[in-house]
C-alpha cells in the first residue's frame, strides 16, 4: 500500500512481496518523489509501475532519486520513459544520480526525451 509524501525517508512506500526483497521504493529525502533502492527487473518492475502510476497521476515534476539503484533492465527503463510521457504537459521526470547504464539505455533507445531530465547532467 502506498503512503503519502512526508513519511520518514526510510519508511517503505510499498510493501514488497518476499520475492522482490532486493528492491525497495522509499520516500525521497529533501524533495517530493521516490528513492529507488536495489534492482529493477522483470520480477520487480510491476512494483515500480504501481508506484509510478500513483505518483504520476496528478503530479507536476516527478523526482526519482536513483543513487542507490544497482541495476535496471531495459523493461524498467521503458517504464520510466512511458510514465514520463504520461505526465501533464510541461512536467518532467527528473532522474537524480541515475546509474550510467540507465543513461545509456535511454540515450540509445529514445535519445533525449523531452519529459526526462537527468541531474546531474
The pTM (predicted TM-score) of the whole model is 0.81
Residue 4 lies in a domain: no
Rounded-to-integer distance, Cα 65 and Cα 7, Å: 16
Omega before 67 within 30 of 0, i.e. cis: no
Number of structural domains the chain divides into: 1
Residue 101 lies in a domain: yes
The DSSP call for residue 72 is: E
Rounded-to-integer distance, Cα 43 and Cα 29, Å: 26
Residue 10 lies in a domain: no
In the block, cell 543513461 appears at 103
pLDDT at 59: 77
Residue 108 lies in a domain: yes
**Which CATH number fits the domain that encloses residue 33?**
3.30.750.24
Beta strand pairing call for 34-40 and 62-72: parallel
Residue 100 lies in a domain: yes
Parent domain of 33: 18-119
- Confidence band for 2, pLDDT divided at 50, 70 and 90: very low
Amino acid at each position: 500500500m502506498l503512503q503519502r509524501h512526508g513519511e520518514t525517508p526510510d519508511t517503505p512506500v510499498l510493501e514488497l512481496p518476499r520475492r522482490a526483497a532486493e528492491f525497495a521504493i522509499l520516500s525521497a529525502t529533501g524533495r517530493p518523489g521516490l528513492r529507488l533502492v536495489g534492482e529493477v527487473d522483470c520480477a520487480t518492475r510491476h512494483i515500480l509501475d504501481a508506484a509510478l502510476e500513483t505518483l504520476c497521476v496528478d503530479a507536476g515534476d516527478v523526482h526519482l532519486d536513483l543513487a542507490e539503484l544497482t541495476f535496471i533492465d531495459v523493461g524498467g527503463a521503458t517504464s520510466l520513459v512511458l510514465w514520463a510521457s504520461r505526465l501533464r504537459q510541461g512536467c518532467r521526470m527528473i532522474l537524480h544520480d541515475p546509474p550510467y547504464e540507465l543513461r545509456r539505455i535511454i540515450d540509445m533507445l529514445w535519445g533525449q526525451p523531452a519529459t526526462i531530465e537527468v541531474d546531474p547532467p
